[in-house]
Amino acid sequence: MKITDFSMDYFSLHGKNAIVTGGNTGLGQAFSLALAKAGANILIASIMPDDPEFNALIEREGVQVVYMEADLTQPGVPKKVVSRCIEAFGTVDILVNCAGICLNNEFRQYGRSEWDPMVAINLTAAFEMCHAAALPMIERKSGKIINICSLLSFLGGRLSPAYAATKHGLAGLTKALCDELAQYNIQVNGIAPGYFKTKVAESSVNDPERSRWIVHHTPAGRWGDVHDLMGATVFLASKASDFVNGHILTVDGGFLTR
């Protein structure tokens, strides 16, 4: 391939079909809308209720959106999500594993009631979604999987050992799947958002001292904005990233440099 063959079409997702788990709430909305703006049809698999207003935002981009109520921790549901995407659009080209929860408690009181549901949705469901989506991708020898990791894929983190453990695990799963699926032209990468004002970060947002520390510790000098994640999502879902694989892309305003 010659250098002159490259064009901005490499970033286009027209004709592609994407599944975004948890895609109608929190940062999931940014991932869904970013892919739609680049031209992809979107299947939102979420335990949260359907949101017609958000669906209308996606449809305004000239693409289709399908909502599927889905508890991804239940047996067989990830396979049903992938089947629904293929039924609705014909293929599954992109998977964004965004669905996740964070349950906080002081470690002396932390128990299986917090640990088990977080492992189930943050890690096990993500694995099952990857497995279900990868099978048709392998047949077509093409696909993009994006796992939504965290700064706690690299750091510790008080009050939620399960969140840190599952996000470390998700980063490891991303690299392991890259090692196995790259031979089929499937790219498996992660995005690790920094501090964004979402429900997961609610305790930090509502703590003035903690919030000031986060801003001070971030070289960019601010909390992240959802727009900061959208370009990274499109890049990792597009042809432009075909030789990027097994990478965890931090979108953190430089937080990890300090």
Choose the catalytic residue: 10, 67, 110, 163.
163
- b/e code 16-27 from CB counts within 10 Å (16+ = b): bbbbbbbbbbbb
**Taking Cα atoms as reference points, which of 91, 100, 94, 61 lies closest to residue 192?**
100
The whole-angstrom separation of Cα 65 and Cα 44 is 7
Question: Could you count the other beta carbons within 10 Å of the beta carbon of residue 227?
Answer: 10
**Taking Cα atoms as reference points, which of 96, 134, 131 lies closest to residue 233?**
96
Task: State how far the alpha carbon of 112 is from the alpha carbons of 87, 103, 105, 115, 149, in Å.
Answer: 38, 11, 11, 5, 22
- Residue 195 annotated as catalytic: no
**Active site positions, annotated:** 163
